[in-house]
Structure 1
């Protein structure tokens, strides 16, 4: 028997209602997403500082970006097990996320107190990793629980907009506030190093304050779900799911999700569209050195890399928000994914051409458009995942989606570092369009039957 069958109620008269406070909760969720994006993007472009300050190698600094990808290996099964019996809901997930972000930023700030505390920095990223895992699961959970079908894509777009807004600020601010220095014992260089240390402590301390305030607000205000559901599809979900852990039920749900072709392919497309950027974040200042040398740019490698990543993240804001608004009226998620993947591949090729031509401006333009198109793919991917697995609980589905795609960040970062050390910068630049070509091919095999949307349309036609 299909494990989804018992989750549908036979009642047809449940009342639905839309609550204005959904926008307040969405704002709080967006602030968490902003803090998460900032944490991810504020290390790789200033790797020179961390190498000099902590006395570590570049590959060790890579872990200041990639450590948070380890979280899925540790927490996915416990979280999925709790979600299968409704023991972990939106409020708990949100509070765990806010708390982990707060602890993570506290570690970032504390690590800069002394040059021997590099491990504290990496530990902070591990805490942020737990938050990141949950924050990647949260957009579809929150959108479906609180918003009508006509606004689900808008909610997804706004939350992703906040992620990439955080990434754009995280990429731009560090390279703007710190100075260029050399890793020597020269007194001038050491003075610059100390000044940068204080500036970065202030920067992370400021974001820590924001995360702490949001943490308190969410603990007080956020609720698991509205008193009455926003859609008939949510109303028809039966409340008689087990409230105690049942291993048989858990494995049946897991099997149903992990054998769903559209879920797996959409998750892979989502993960590759998001995580391939890890190759840029861990190596950007080193990749750009040939270009900054050739063009004699009035920027350091760190600054050039930071602004390039900012262009990508700002493009991500534009792409996520725009596609969210478009899909509000046009529900063909499969076509949106295919077109998005095709455009992403084109602009990734443009990045390669720009690098070969040593044109920094062209690289920024292509990276902006690459960010817009690759992030636009993520909104319909979220929609396909929740549509195709309906009526299985979105929390359960979201956790598994995050689990499967997040480790790609480690894979891409490690491959990029290996390619760079073995073959140089060009191999990393080419690595990106190759992966986007694979993503485009995968998107053609995705199907979208829009099960949740169909329930909503049927309920409207009945009235």
Structure 2
């Protein structure tokens, strides 16, 4: 049970005025004369989060939309499979330079201004792509218009994806940051899953592109719901100005002065480099798999619908796993992000190795199980890696841009390599991609070994916790309460209470357990304490915040 310690104070406590204690007790009333700095959360952060979720879901459809219907697109338009693959590849190609430009746009235009550009590109890309379905066009004209539409849509993906860790840092505190990153970070895979499910369910490929244009047009206006930053930051990290991309480059090159907030030690630079490589490989393999799903499974007798469902199973199970684990990382495993990566990645690698032998005819159940395991292990780590990268760099925009750039770079490379590894028409079965499965498993296994070299020290969280505690102590001292850590274990000895009843006109200093004040809500603006000098000495503390008042009574029995 929490204990209070009452002790004499020699110096005057200017923030507390005491009336004489006469028999039954006295009262202390204090009103703060100035507003101490505090960290604050705003409910509207959830509105912006929901808007970014919708925008990332829609942008996530772009990459994989043609994957499950690749064979149908070839039949309807006369394109080759390699040309259809480039509808996904062009998104990865345009992502590479765009990801580096996006942090600069955020710095110049802010989140909302940059979002307007993305929303405009949403609408234009959807209808340019649909214009390519006109039957009066030649095959080359249709290919050009659809490719241009994909290129414009690809520009929107980094606009809404790179900002995710930065938005979490600006609007959420330590207990919600990883969860917010999870919700927004996994919205892009949700778009991938929907991009796997929707196209096979629509009548024709031309109708599917019309539906895509409508979805893009309807989703674009939600960008008006996203705010740049809150009036009062929720954490110490959120109070800093957005670091530029060049500051991250200087930090990685070891040219950042030690006294700068974004300074990185050699170990942190090494950890971040390893994470960029591993994250790029793991997510790039998944991206390439979702693009090539129909081509990888089709030779073994699986329909486009089944291929789409398996790709969706990978993504949807991963979403559920991430939704379960993200709150644990915020509240339980707060200091074990790197350890989680080291434990889960070997399971994921084993599943990719198993696919070499398990992709065969009439093996649906085993494939669904493997897809679920791959999704559950890989996607639950996605927000963990994004947050851990910010912990190492203290640069949310820059680290996110480089991580996502690496995924698109590796995804592009893997699609090209695996397409080249496709067997010929005389193979058994014809056009199978068994060599591509071996390539996937080999690359993932090698990258998983590297993750065990990461130390993963969470510097940003440590700084935020220190500054949060300092702010609480400063605020409570401002209202006349000194905050100290007091053991809560039950102790009946008199020495543990150290209660010295106040005399007639003495100043009294009151020490309360830090976790008690922390659990009672926001910092009090007014505190009223009544002391009763009888057989029981008690304290009544009333907390009054801006939004509501709370009253709690704590008793300290006399010795």
Higher helix share: 1
CA displacement, residues 31-74 of structure 1 (integer Å, 9 cap, x when unaligned): 01110222222211111121122211110000111111112443
State how many pairs are aligned: 413
Q: 2:175 aligns with which of 135, 150, 153?
A: 150
Q: What aligned pairs does 1:350-361 form with structure 2 within 5 A after superposition? A: 350-356=354-360, 358-361=362-365
Between the aligned partners of 2:153 and 2:197, the Cα distance in structure 1 is 20
Aligned to 1:426: 434
Instruction: Tell whether the 8 Å contact from 1:108 to 1:204 is kept in structure 2 after alignment.
Output: no
Shift of 1:119: 1.5
- Compute the TM-score of the two structures, normalised by the length of structure 1: 0.82
Once the two structures are superposed, residues 165-220 of structure 1 have per-residue CA deviations (whole angstroms, 9 ceiling, x without a partner) of 22222111211233xxxxxxxxxxxxxxxxx1453144213312322332xxx23x
Hey, what's the Cα distance between the residues in 1 that align with 2:271 and 2:114?
A: 25
TM-superposed CA distance for 1:232, in Å, is 2.2
For the Cα contact (< 8 Å) 2:315–2:379, is it kept in 1? Answer: no
Structure with a larger share of its residues in strand = 2
- Equivalence for 2:7: none
Q: CA deviation at 1:17?
A: 0.8
**Match of 1:4?**
none
Contact preservation (8 Å) 2:122, 2:153: yes
Aligned equivalent of 2:390: 386
Is it true that 1:307 corresponds to 2:309 in the alignment?
yes
| TM-score, normalised with respect to structure 2 | 0.68
In structure 2, what is the equivalent of residue 397 of structure 1? 399
* Residue 366 of structure 1: aligned partner: 370
- Pick from 132, 154, 166 the counterpart of residue 157 of structure 2: 132
Quickly say closer, same or farther: Cα 1:81–1:25, change in 2 above 3 A: closer
1:371 to partner: Cα distance: 1.4
Q: Would you say the 8 A contact 2:68–2:305 is kept in 1?
A: yes
Structure 1 contact 62–282 (Cα < 8 Å) conserved: yes
Q: Cα deviations across residues 321-379 of structure 1 (Å, max 9, x unaligned)?
A: 22322211212110111122112112223333321475122112211221121112211
Residue equivalent to 1:279: 288
Taking the aligned partners of 1:290 and 1:317, their CA distance within structure 2 comes to 29
For residues 387-436 of structure 1, give each alpha carbon's deviation from its aligned partner in whole angstroms, at most 9, with x where no partner exists: 0012x4x2233223333332111101001101114684211222222222
Report the CA distance shift for 1:357/1:175 in structure 2 as closer, same or farther (over 3 A): closer
For residues 125 and 237 of structure 2, the distance between their equivalents in structure 1, rounded to whole angstroms, comes to 37
Give runs of aligned pairs for residues 288-303 of structure 1, distance below 5 A.
288-292=297-301, 301-303=303-305
Q: Does 1:451 align with 2:459?
A: yes
Residue 273 of structure 1: CA displacement? 1.9
C-alpha distance in 1, partners of 2:53/2:464? 27
Please give the residue correspondences for 1:141-290 in structure 2 after superposition, counting only pairs within 5 Å.
141-178=166-203, 196-214=204-222, 218-219=223-224, 221-235=225-239, 237=240, 252=250, 255=253, 260-290=269-299
1:44 matches 2:48: no
Among candidates 110, 115, 127, match of residue 94 of structure 1: 115
Distance 1:112 1:320 in 2: 38
Q: Distance in 2 between matches of 1:141 and 1:326?
A: 21
Hey, what's the Cα distance between the residues in 2 that align with 1:99 and 1:308?
A: 33
Q: Which residue, out of 119, 131, 144, partners 1:119?
A: 144
Which of 349, 361, 375 matches 1:345? 349
* Farther-moved stretch of structure 1 (351-360 vs 434-443): 351-360
Tell whether the 8 Å contact from 1:323 to 1:379 is kept in structure 2 after alignment. Answer: no
Distance 2:192 2:407 in 1: 19
Query: Which of 74, 77, 85 matches 2:97?
Result: 74
Q: Distance between the aligned counterparts of 1:437 and 1:98, measured in 2?
A: 39
Q: Does 1:325 align with 2:350?
A: no
Out of 138-147 and 251-260, give the one that drifted further. 251-260
Give the Cα separation in 2 of the matches to 1:325 and 1:347: 26
**Aligned partner of 1:110 among 131, 134, 147:** 131
Distance 1:225 1:18 in 2: 11
Q: Give 2:419's aligned residue.
A: 417
Decide whether the 8 Å contact of 1:172 with 1:307 is kept in 2: yes
Q: 1:69–1:409: 8 Å Cα contact kept in structure 2?
A: yes
1:63 aligns with 2:71: no
**Structure 1 residues 200 and 267: CA distance shift in structure 2, 3 A:** same
Give the 3 Å change call, closer, same or farther, for CA 270–210 of structure 1 in structure 2: farther
Aligned residues: CA RMSD: 2.6
Larger Rg: 2
Structure 1: give runs of 5+ residues left out of the alignment.
1-12, 179-195, 293-299
Residues 45 and 171 of structure 1 are in contact (CA less than 8 Å); yes or no, is this contact kept in structure 2? yes
